[in-house]
Amino acid sequence: MDIVMQVKDVGISFGSNHVLKSLNFILAEKEVLGVIGPNGAGKTVMLDILTGILHPTKGDILFQGKTITDRSITERCRMGIGRTFQVPKPFEKMTVFENVTVGGIYGHRQSEQDAQRSALEIIRMAGLYDKREWLAGKLGLLDRKRLEIARSLAVKPKILLLDEVAAGLTEVEVENVLFIVKKIKELGVSVIWIEHILKTMLEGTDRILCLAQGRDVICGCPQEVMHSKTVQEVYLGTDE
């Protein structure tokens, strides 16, 4: 198993608030790692640390065997770490095609011609090809989520961090997101996926990591983790 990322004893505090106390995990090549946990467990803060938006109080982050703990957001992006956000914020007055093209030009330093060619391939995979000339501001929620994923793929990531891309979607739309994540994995991209919709975690991941009280409390295959007593207690709110 080739490890593409390793997080070692990472913690972050805001004054006396210890949001993450000790986070440890590895991410393998072509793996989809689901991340669950109650509100306030530090899931999105974890993604902010991995992308360089926040810097940890302690610990180390290794990407392809090299420490990136002190690297900037831009450096990490160009090294191959892409990310979506809970609330999609596309360039609303630009088309779907233009949004994804910009990602390739500025996130991966492609030429305009190469970025445009890649954008069309990504848009097709994301199910947005028929809407490629639509203004992003005119898109519904599912298509905004698709565009958010497509823009993150434009930087040609080796690791893609997904932050609740299925939130607010219908059951049928969630199936669509699962299909896209499957395609992303087939491209050879490793994925860290935060989600509250249990169906996505059970059907769309290789392993699940559960965070609680600022720590990784359990990590393993989806069925075992989701049915463990630990998860029932800290995530589902039951001790049955």
The Cα 116–Cα 119 span in angstroms is 5
> Do 201 and 231 belong together in one domain?
yes
Q: Which domain holds residue 138?
A: 90-156
**Residue 228 domain-assigned (yes or no):** yes
Q: What is the pTM of this model?
A: 0.94
Of 156, 184, 212, the domain-final residue: 156
Share of the chain above pLDDT 70, in %: 97
Question: What is the number of other CB atoms lying within 10 angstroms of the CB of residue 238?
Answer: 9
**Residue 85 domain-assigned (yes or no):** no
For the stretch 67-122, pLDDT in tens is 999 999 999 999 999 999 999 999 999 999 999 999 999 988 899 999 999 999 99
Residue that is written with structure tokens 């969630």 in the block: 174
> Do 65 and 182 belong together in one domain?
yes
Tokens linked to 171:
């059951």
Q: What pLDDT is stored for residue 240 in this prediction?
A: 38
> Do 161 and 240 belong together in one domain?
yes
Of 101, 128, 156, the domain-final residue: 156
Count up the domains in the chain and report the number: 2
Task: Please answer whether residues 13 and 57 qualify as being in contact, where contact means their C-beta atoms are separated by less than 8 angstroms.
Answer: yes
Q: What pLDDT is stored for residue 6 in this prediction?
A: 98
The Cα 18–Cα 201 span in angstroms is 27
Residue that is written with structure tokens 């860290």 in the block: 192
∠154-128-200 over CA atoms, to 5°?
80
Side-chain-facing half-sphere of 49: CA atoms under 13 Å: 25
> Do 76 and 164 belong together in one domain?
yes
For the stretch 136-167, pLDDT in tens is 999 999 999 999 999 999 999 999 999 999 99
